[in-house]
Structure 1
Amino acid sequence: MPDKTILDVVDTAVKIGIGALISGVSTYWVTKLKNSADAEKEYRQRYRSILEEVADNLESVNHVYLKYWALVVEWLRYKNGNNQWPETRKEELEKVKEELFHAFKAVTSAEAKLLLVGESRAYEALRAYAEKVIKFRRTFYCENMKMTEAEMETAKSEIKELRESFFRQVSDSYKHRIT
């Protein structure tokens, strides 16, 4: 009888030990999977947030560029009508030029964020947009007596297409990386 009791105790101890081992391994495995899923979820949320920040950065530059465009077109229409452009509008244009210059800090920030998350195609699209806006600013200004409104409209359309191309790239990344 004592042998049977010892055997029962050892059998029970082995069963308890195996159960504890299985429970410990299962708990470790489930916790590891949950932590991995939480980290992936956090990464996706941060990635989405970065893309949203980049889109906001581009829109802030685009807004200032459109103000610049509108003022230069207004100046051109005054000039073509042989009218004197109001001094207040000239002052506003100077402020917008300065604002456009400073707005490009947002482009640099957006470029860095896109490169950080590995979005090289969106980066290239943003770069093309920014370069076109810079070229627009260098080509169309109030002292340029040779420019025409048609040329400005063509350049504006090209910039709009580049902006849309950029947003398509970001949108594709946004959709594919999140799901």
Structure 2
Amino acid sequence: MPTEVIDVIDTAVKIGLGGIITGITTYAVTSKNHKNEKDKYLLEHKYKTLESCAEKMDEFFDAWMGLLTKVGGISRHMENEGKEYTDISKKRWDSIKEKDAALVESWGSKSYAISRFRILGAENIVEAIKKTNTPHNSLREKVIFGKTVLSHDEFKEFRTELNQIKKDVHAAISKFYGSISV
């Protein structure tokens, strides 16, 4: 009889220990898998947000280049026609205003990108974007508010500056993209 009791207790302990070990292992593996899935989701979301912001900044850069190119083209025509930079026809002025309206509309894209970059903690990208303010405002001040087109040399300076800023922003985005982790 004492052996039977000991055998029953021995079997119960073995079954209980096996159950406890199985339960703990299942919990640990499930927790690890859940954490890995969560980390994977967060990483994917960060990448998608970053890519969306890059697209929004390209919308802004494209609109800015659109205005600059329109003004540069009109300037070239006016030089060829021997006209003053302030002697802009209504048709040409309307085409400039159309490009400016597209640029103004793209400010929302730029603001969206900046706010998301800040959420991601990408202040280096925000600083690169801030460098657009001065040349962008200078272009609009001269052309839209000053009602004059750029000389060809001014156009080339603005274009060079825009291309450099765009390159710097893309480089900052690329660098941040490579450093993303959970």
Tell me the TM-score normalised to structure 2 length: 0.88
Amino acid at match of 1:164: K
Greater relative CO (CA pairs within 8 A, separation 6+): 2
1:49 aligns with 2:60: no
Q: Secondary structure at the match of 2:161?
A: helix
Count of aligned pairs between the two proteins:
177
CA distance in 2, matches of 1:49, 1:130: 26
2:88/2:148 contact within 8 Å kept: no
Find the counterpart in structure 1 of residue 131 from structure 2: 128
Q: Secondary structure at the match of 1:47?
A: helix
1:140/1:152 contact within 8 Å kept: no
Structure 2 unmatched runs, 5+ = none
Find the counterpart in structure 1 of residue 23 from structure 2: 24
What displacement does 1:156 show?
A: 1.6
Change (3 A) 1:109 1:131: farther
Change (3 A) 1:135 1:17: farther
2:63/2:106 contact within 8 Å kept: yes
- Counterpart pick for 1:148 among 148, 151, 158: 151
Find the counterpart in structure 2 of residue 99 from structure 1: 102
1:82 aligns with 2:100: no
Per-residue displacement from partner, 1:74-102 (whole Å, max 9, x unpaired)? Answer: 22123323257664333222111111111
Structure 1 unmatched runs, 5+ = none
1:67/1:96 contact within 8 Å kept: yes
Amino acid at match of 1:158: E
What displacement does 1:130 show?
A: 4.3
CA distance in 1, matches of 2:137, 2:8: 84
What displacement does 1:13 show?
A: 0.8
1:54/1:110 contact within 8 Å kept: yes
Find the counterpart in structure 1 of residue 3 from structure 2: 4
CA distance in 2, matches of 1:102, 1:78: 27
What displacement does 1:63 show?
A: 1.2
1:58/1:107 contact within 8 Å kept: yes
Change (3 A) 1:14 1:87: same
Find the counterpart in structure 2 of residue 37 from structure 1: 36
Amino acid at match of 1:171: S
Amino acid at match of 1:30: V
